[in-house]
Amino acid sequence: MLAASPIFPPRHFEKHLEQSAMPRILVTPFLLHGKPGPYRDVLEAGGCEIVYPTIDDAGLYGGQLYTQLGGIDGVLAGAEPYTREVLEGSKLRAIARMGVGYDAVDVAAATERGIVVTIAPGTNEHSVAEHALALLLGVFRGFPGRDREVRTGVWQRRPLWRLAGKTIGLVGLGRIGKAVVPRAQALGLSVIAYDPLPDRDFAARHDVRLCTLEELLGESHIVSLHLPCTPETIDLVNARTLAMMRPGAVLVNTARGGLVDEDALADALRTGRLAAAGLDVFKVEPLPLDSPLLKLDNVLLAPHMAGLDEESNEAMSRLAAECLAQLARGDWPQGCVVNAELRAGWKW
């Protein structure tokens, strides 16, 4: 029998080559594109090929994500939407979110297709907490409005509110909510909190009074959101719950845009029911230019950047890369997998 030609190998050898091919990982976050860092070191050490998108962020968020997934095995993902339609047209084995939220991924559809979804817990809570306080301080001290006034020759020394002595209500007391607590208390704020599964020991040790959501809304001068977006929490802030808030309160959202009915919030801000809002996240991102929120001067806006500082960017991308590298070699990333029911029998 003739030996198999090295130019035309038998089909079983082709299959072996396919199975042993280097995993191709698409890295979508723009901040990482083409840049060195621990995430690259981890993926390369794990035998992965790194691929960057050929379209910009607007394309990734605007319905063209599916065009980037041909031949891709895993994604080190930002907040771009992985819908059922996108997933069904792919051959993905894993999506590693560079962050702690996963509402941009249709987890049910991913699970049906055997796609492991991971997050990066414990990497960005300090950044989010600082950003929440930055929005709060900006609102209470009138920035950036006061800066704009001075630049245009307006010298208006109008007093605003003092933070010290006010009550901040944290809706959610997980890692991020807990990181807000000492920062808020350092500003002289009293802290109360609502959480479906509260850490009572933490609350007792840090002088945080636990209460119901209704009590929190009625008592807080500032309501700061720190819950994930789930079917149970979508539009948690709506016309009914906004009416429960004390007149002149301030809303801060650094969690997820899906928590807030933006039309109802705009109405409450427009009528003066709420004094102001500081928002980092929105239902649709980037925020559409016809959003009613853009017509209001008592809203301080940011482009979903709360979890990003230099340190968290490195930590999140490294952990996401570690999750992908572990999965590619047959290990399971402990404490990071969202759809852990896939573990039994799952293979890359």
37: left (phi over 0), alpha (psi -120 to 50) or beta: left
Q: What is the pLDDT of residues 232-287, one digit of tens each?
A: 999 999 999 999 999 999 999 999 999 999 999 999 999 999 999 999 999 998 89
**Res. 318 pLDDT band, cuts 50 70 90:** very high
- Active-site position among 97, 304, 318, 322: 304
From the candidates 130, 219, 285, 314, which is the catalytic residue?
A: 285
Report residue 120's pLDDT band, with 50, 70 and 90 as the boundaries. Answer: very high
Query: How confident is the prediction for the chain on average, in pLDDT?
Result: 93
Pick the residue with more confidence: 298 or 2?
Answer: 298
Please report which confidence band the pLDDT of residue 9 belongs to, taking 50, 70 and 90 as the band edges.
very low
pLDDT beyond 90 at 10: no
Looking at residue 14, what is its pLDDT? 40
pLDDT band at 7 (very low <50, low <70, confident <90, very high): very low
Residue-wise pLDDT for 123-175, tens only, equals 999 999 999 999 999 999 999 999 999 999 999 999 999 999 999 999 999 99
Active site residue 200: no
Residue, of 75 and 5, whose pLDDT is higher: 75
Q: Is 304 a catalytic residue?
A: yes
The per-residue pLDDT for 21 is 80
DSSP category for residue 302: -
The SS3 of residue 94 is: strand
Q: Is this model's pTM higher than 0.85 or not?
A: yes
How many CA atoms are closer than 13 Å to the CA of 285, on its beta-carbon side?
Answer: 21
pLDDT(13) > 50: no
What mean pLDDT do residues 112-117 have?
Answer: 98
Q: What region does 304 belong to: left with phi over 0, alpha with psi -120 to 50, or beta?
A: left
Active site residue 256: yes
Q: What does R_g of the chain's alpha carbons equal in angstroms?
A: 23
The half-sphere exposure of 134 on its side-chain side, counting CA atoms within 13 A, is 15
**The one catalytic residue among 40, 131, 221, 256:** 256
Which residue, among 168, 158, 176, has the nearest Cα to 224 in the 3D structure? 168
Confidence of residue 206 (pLDDT cuts 50, 70, 90): very high
Beta strands 274-279 and 299-301: pairing type?
Answer: parallel
Residue 193 in contact with residue 140, Cβ under 8 Å? no
d(CA 345, CA 206): 43
Domain residues of the chain, as ranges?
A: 19-123+309-342, 125-301
Domain 19-123+309-342 is found in CATH 3.40.50.720: yes
Q: List the structure tokens of 8.
A: 């035309």
Helix axes 125-141, 175-186, angle to 10 degrees: 40
pLDDT in tens, 15-36: 333 444 899 999 999 999 988 9
Positive or negative: CA dihedral 67, 69, 71, 77: positive
Nearest-angstrom CA–CA distance, 41 and 233: 38
**pLDDT higher than threshold 50 for residue 11:** no
**Cβ atoms of residues 75 and 96 within 8 Å:** yes
- Inter-axis angle of helices 310-328 and 38-45, nearest 10: 10
Distance between CA 241 and CA 257 in Å, rounded?
16
CATH number for 125-301 (one of 2.30.40.10, 3.40.50.2300, 3.40.640.10, 3.40.50.720): it is 3.40.50.720
- Of the chain, the percentage scoring pLDDT greater than 70 comes to 94
Number of H helices, E strands in the chain: 13, 12
Q: Do domains 19-123+309-342 and 125-301 have the same CATH topology?
A: yes
Residue 172, sorted as left (phi over 0), alpha (psi -120 to 50) or beta, turns out to be: left
